[in-house]
Amino acid sequence: MTVKEIEPWGVNVPYIYLSTIMFLLGGISLIKFPFYHPYFMMIGAYSLYFGMIQRLFFPAKNYLPLHILALILLAIPISHYFQFLASIVLVITEIKALKDVKSYGSKFPVSTLVLSSPFLSAILWYFYINYWSLIIPLAVYILGVNIGVFTATLGVKPFFGLYQVPVLILLIISVFLPFFLAIALVYYFAFLMRKGIKRINWTSISVILVSLASMSALYLGDLSHAFFLDVMFPLFFSCITYSTARYNHEKVVYIIPLLLLAFFTRFINLQFSAIFLPIAYIYFLYLIKDTLGITGIKLGISKKYL
């Protein structure tokens, strides 16, 4: 094993740039070309996902060609087959990284949710059932990866391997029966906190509460936006900030009310509700700003740690 083989880089940074561009295009398209709005927003969400799974689980520079190829393919908003091909590249990167880890003799807890998400991404982008189906790989990943964040910040008991399978099954069922997403969330948080909370962290507590509040969409409607605004973005903002700029993690709590307003005001005035997500996203970028420069790209860490 050489130093070069395990030398990391900030693979998530260009993906965050891509997500910002796609979310901007998504906002613009909502006004001019609403048909393209969900496609741009979905690519933006997958950009956050691709960037963070590669940074946390296979960030080595010897995977750089695969990282860049996935980035390029994901960024092409012409056909869902480009996102399918990007997912295939992500699967190849995961398999290669797992083989490398095994050859090094290293061991780590198996996150069934995290490791299965690239395969689900490839399958569901290929078949492209509808936009809702594309939500499921995102849900599988963010619930899997945030187990570590909740364990560290709340002192809850983590669960890995086969213990994650019920959550995975419930989420797969929700491809066809969307209300199973709510069942998956309840089961996930209940099992995660089965031994109680040992520490108080208001960001993590607020993320749990807003995620459960998303179930109101079963009565209010618009389950897709409930997931994006009250589940995906809170969990992504919490995980990314904790992983890259831990010193600002507690400040993520101030984003949660904005995301709640973004969802619930949709039912009152759609134009008014549209102002809250951009504010939340800009504040998120502010919290991780020290990871987004040249140092963050070269070393994969915030310049505050140097």
Contact of 145 with 122, CB cutoff 8 Å? no
Report pTM: 0.95
Say yes or no to pLDDT of 145 above 50. Answer: yes
The whole-angstrom separation of Cα 258 and Cα 229 is: 9
pLDDT of 205-231, one tens digit each?
999 999 999 998 888 888 999 999 999
The whole-angstrom separation of Cα 239 and Cα 242 is: 5
The fraction of the chain above a pLDDT of 70, given in percent, is 97
Report in angstroms the alpha-carbon separations of 124 from 8, 263, 306.
30, 26, 41
pLDDT of 111-138, one tens digit each?
999 999 999 999 999 999 999 999 999 9
Taking residues 94-110, report their average pLDDT. 82
> In 3D, which of 46, 52, 55 has the Cα closest to residue 82?
46
Say yes or no to pLDDT of 104 above 80. Answer: no
DSSP string for residues in 214-228: GGGHHHH--HHHHHI
pLDDT of 248-300, one tens digit each?
999 999 999 999 999 999 999 988 999 999 999 999 999 999 999 999 999 88
